[in-house]
Structure 1
Amino acid sequence: MSDQLSATRKAVAAAQRVVVKVGSSSLTTTKGGLAAERLATLVDTVARRVAAGGQVVLVSSGAIAAGIAPLGLSRRPKDLATQQAAASVGQQALAHAYAESFSRYDLTVGQVLLTADDVVRRGHYRNAQRTLDRLLGLGAVPVVNENDTVATHEIRFGDNDRLAALVSHLVGADALILLSDVDALYDGDPRCGGASVIREVNGDADMAGVHAGRTGASGLGTGGMASKVEAARVACSSGIPVLLTSAALAERALGPADVGTAFAATGSRLSARRFWLAHAAGANGRLWLDDGAVAAVVKRRRSLLAAGITAVEGAFDGGDVVELVNPAGKVVGRGVVAYDAAELPDLIGRSTHELPAEQRREVVHADDLVPLR
């Protein structure tokens, strides 16, 4: 690592409010159960950051893995019911371990369990935001995890990396630190030899030729490097710099930030509503646009009119979130649609002056629309 730190690393090191995500493999043993010493070491590092005046939200995996040994299971369960049972046992153990460990520094822990529904639904999103802000304001350390005991396949985040990216925006974090069992991002699998480390990512061009695997090496987690890269993209696109490294290097990551891979913020910070539209809300349908409408929506940030729509896909009601798709089938934006799906076929492709007076309004208003890169 060069003595000259990048602007991204300086921003991470100076962050006043930071979200730290730690994976299952960093907190649990291969046979299941918590690795107490590793958890305590992580808590030591977080406590030092808090003592220095920072605020930390800890997004912690490990509930299912921590429940494996107590339930007498030989490996991470694959069926949903057993995963939920393991989570119900492991989450209790995980929360108790964090509370006990942080108490050594007179720090209070607040457990926050979320499902995807809590960020997909606008009202739930605001409630989660208020809860986390209040915990931080009271000097507590929020420990966030997906609520695996009740989450179904339909309402899961899929992994805590994405959850960490969403929480970073939810709390207005100045940086996101992703801790796993790999020390940095490589252009290939470092276990196979010949892979080169990537220290700085300033945009998509720096990711050319990178092949990130999708499963974790330990078999305890669900994320893998691909989900971490995607989480970094989500956070960076809304103005939050990201540092990716191993849990073993947490002290350096939460200190001078001179380890791992640094992802530069590539976009401006979105309002809570626009971020929710772009990354958290579930889409109930699609509107296919012609090239003119794509240019108006993406480049000029205009409202979407009926004249630029070529097809309607899905069943949705006015007020639902829909995806906006270009002629090649690529999603170029998301927004809140003003019409029911059943109303649109008679309107699409028609200029505003051709429509009845009561239907001369935008299909998706610019204030309710977010272009996607």
Structure 2
Amino acid sequence: MRIVVKVGSSSLSSADGGLDLSRLHMLVDALAGARGRGDEVVLVSSGAIATGLSPLGLPARPRDLATQQAAASVGQGLLVARYTERFARHDLVVGQVLLTVDDVVRRTHYRNAYRTLARLLDLGVVPVVNENDTVATGEIRFGDNDRLAALVAHLVHADRLLLLSDVDGLYDGNPANPGASLIPDVYADADLEGLDIARPSASKVGTGGMVTKVEAARIATGAGIPVLLTSAAHVQDALESRPVGTTFHPTGRRRSTRLLWLAHATTGKGTLVLDAGAVRAVVERRASLLPAGVVAVRGAFDSGDPVDLADEAGTVVARGLVNYDATELPQMIGRSTHALAADLGAEYERELVHRDDLVLL
């Protein structure tokens, strides 16, 4: 079995925000046990920024991106060194893999990331994956490693995704309150109705909360990958398939990682408003979007950017990668591609959004 395990900063940190080696050692020992049973393991680990706080004399996670990146630069090497040292006690080799959004969006990057991870696993290496915080900008960030882990699980064709947190599962209320009950299974979004999952992380060093974990579970289960959410303290039980935490059951089949990213890891940089016929063509026939079906263009965007496709009432029905800049579109909307090619040139005979670059929401 191929398992992707994601561990958050709060699960690796001490009370003062620094790296807690006892927690890291417990995690590594459990993962090594899974390897000994024949499982392949990919570890998606937060903690680089948290590990860099103490050496830089920072009392808490910085809010500005530049200082976060500086802390990640210092902390990433230290974190991987600790993993390398502990896994070596089990005769296992660690390989560091730092990813940005581009690595799962651009086809050449995606294929290279897949080949690298697959080869590491073939060689018996334990890949330790993290977002490349040192160079990623606000516009090209995953935003949290829960989402990254879900996309990595799809990228490596994982059989299972394990999300480790500082809580032992999904509850029907605040787990700090008496009477809150653990929800052992989630089969569909309907099982989440009425739940308060909007609580932010209680940790001073983490960025995620229950919202990001549920969203990651949606991404993975929508691609056919079961997800278990539990606390890092229960990692041993989780890896041995004992009844702990909350299991999110698959809801869909595997699909393009690029489309998973488009649906779950982007926001539209503009909006194309579609007439009723174009909405039916996109939603029901899964057709490409042509200029003739667009009645309005909103926002500023460039060719290749993600844009929302909405009906005339404003309901967003899909998102796609647009083939033209926003400034080019006013002269194109409502016209056929043949007419555009005759007036503006053959390069204007393309779709606004090709169906292969479009996902329904």
Structure 1 length-normalised TM: 0.87
1:120 and 1:281 in contact (8 A); partners too? no
| Alpha-carbon distance in structure 2 between the residues aligned to 1:114 and 1:214 | 27
Partner of 2:295: 310
1:324 and 1:333 in contact (8 A); partners too? yes
CA 1:154 to 1:306, structure 2 compared with 1: closer, same or farther past 3 Å? closer
| Alpha-carbon distance in structure 2 between the residues aligned to 1:82 and 1:337 | 34
Whether 2:51 is the aligned partner of 1:43: answer no
1:183 and 1:260 in contact (8 A); partners too? yes
CA 1:129 to 1:330, structure 2 compared with 1: closer, same or farther past 3 Å? farther
Identity %: 65
| Alpha-carbon distance in structure 1 between the residues aligned to 2:329 and 2:105 | 24
Give the C-alpha shift of residue 28 in structure 1. 1.3
CA 1:345 to 1:195, structure 2 compared with 1: closer, same or farther past 3 Å? same
Partner of 2:358: 369
Match of 1:145, SS?
A: strand
Whether 2:311 is the aligned partner of 1:322: answer no
Whether 2:100 is the aligned partner of 1:115: answer yes
Partner of 1:81: 66
| Alpha-carbon distance in structure 2 between the residues aligned to 1:231 and 1:141 | 22
Match of 1:190, SS?
A: coil
Match of 1:262, SS?
A: strand
Partner of 1:264: 249
Deviations 1:254-285 (A, max 9, x none): 11152111111112110344334434567543
2:104 and 2:258 in contact (8 A); partners too? no
Whether 2:147 is the aligned partner of 1:158: answer no
CA 1:76 to 1:278, structure 2 compared with 1: closer, same or farther past 3 Å? closer
Of the three residues 194, 207, 213, the one matched with 2:192 is 207
Whether 2:334 is the aligned partner of 1:345: answer no
Whether 2:259 is the aligned partner of 1:274: answer yes
CA 1:56 to 1:320, structure 2 compared with 1: closer, same or farther past 3 Å? same
Of the three residues 208, 213, 228, the one matched with 2:213 is 228
CA 1:238 to 1:28, structure 2 compared with 1: closer, same or farther past 3 Å? same
Partner of 1:183: 168
1:119 and 1:125 in contact (8 A); partners too? yes
2:142 and 2:265 in contact (8 A); partners too? no
| Alpha-carbon distance in structure 2 between the residues aligned to 1:339 and 1:82 | 36
CA 1:308 to 1:194, structure 2 compared with 1: closer, same or farther past 3 Å? farther
Of the three residues 157, 181, 201, the one matched with 1:216 is 201
In structure 1, give the amino acid aligned to 2:185: E
Of the three residues 124, 127, 132, the one matched with 1:147 is 132
Query: What do you get for the CA RMSD once the two structures are aligned?
Result: 2.3
| Alpha-carbon distance in structure 2 between the residues aligned to 1:273 and 1:69 | 37
Deviations 1:225-267 (A, max 9, x none): 1111111111122222111110111111111152111111112
Please give the residue correspondences for 1:279-290 in structure 2 after superposition, counting only pairs within 5 Å. Answer: 279-280=264-265, 283-290=268-275
1:178 and 1:245 in contact (8 A); partners too? yes
Partner of 1:11: none
CA 1:350 to 1:49, structure 2 compared with 1: closer, same or farther past 3 Å? same
Give the C-alpha shift of residue 130 in structure 1. 2.1
Give the C-alpha shift of residue 371 in structure 1. 1.7
Of the three residues 35, 57, 69, the one matched with 1:72 is 57
Worse-matched range after superposition: 323-332 or 223-232 = 323-332
Worse-matched range after superposition: 275-284 or 51-60 = 275-284
Deviations 1:86-138 (A, max 9, x none): 22222222101100111111111001122334334443333322221221121
Give the C-alpha shift of residue 356 in structure 1. 5.2
In structure 2, give the amino acid aligned to 1:193: P
Whether 2:111 is the aligned partner of 1:126: answer yes
In the alignment, structure 2 segments of 5+ residues that lack a partner are none
Partner of 1:294: 279
Partner of 1:105: 90
CA 1:356 to 1:68, structure 2 compared with 1: closer, same or farther past 3 Å? closer
2:147 and 2:265 in contact (8 A); partners too? no
Deviations 1:23-63 (A, max 9, x none): 11111102132211211111111112122222111011111
| Alpha-carbon distance in structure 2 between the residues aligned to 1:66 and 1:223 | 17
How many corresponding residue pairs?
Answer: 357
In structure 2, give the amino acid aligned to 1:173: A
| Alpha-carbon distance in structure 1 between the residues aligned to 2:129 and 2:255 | 22
Match of 1:164, SS?
A: helix
CA 1:244 to 1:365, structure 2 compared with 1: closer, same or farther past 3 Å? same
Whether 2:7 is the aligned partner of 1:18: answer no
| Alpha-carbon distance in structure 2 between the residues aligned to 1:126 and 1:281 | 20
